[in-house]
Amino acid sequence: MFGLIGKLKTHPGQRDVLVGHLLNAANILQELDGCYLYVISAATDDPDIVWVTEAWRSQADHQASLMHDAVKALIASAHPLLAETPDGFEVIPLGGKGLPGIM
């Protein structure tokens, strides 16, 4: 299991536009094998920050998703909305509601 928790800071007032792009990504990921969780959240302390939480069957599945033409196009269209380089970290999901048992 492979997970990511990412922090995306947009230019002022662009958060909702970015959220729209990310929700489109969530729809695309419905078609791809290996994605268990893809959740977009708004920060409570900054109106221009979006958090993305992902859980994948493997790091290879995540990397393969980045090669999908629709995902590449979405990343390219969302990139100009970002005020900073995305930040975040990798995690190892251990289970929970919505995830297959892996312990």
Is this structure's pTM higher than 0.95? no
Domains of the chain: 2-82 (3.30.70.100)
pLDDT tens digits along 82-101 = 999 999 999 999 988 888 76
- CA dist., res. 62 & res. 85, Å (int): 19
CB proximity list for 97: less than 8 A, separation 6 or greater: none
CB proximity list for 50: less than 8 A, separation 6 or greater: 7, 8, 10, 15, 18, 19, 22, 40, 41, 42, 43
Return the minimum-mean-pLDDT range out of 4-8, 15-19, 92-96: 92-96
Amino acid identity of residue 13, one-letter, is: G
Cβ–Cβ under 8 Å, residues 7 and 83: no
pLDDT tens digits along 31-76 = 888 999 999 999 999 999 999 999 999 999 999 999 999 999 999 9
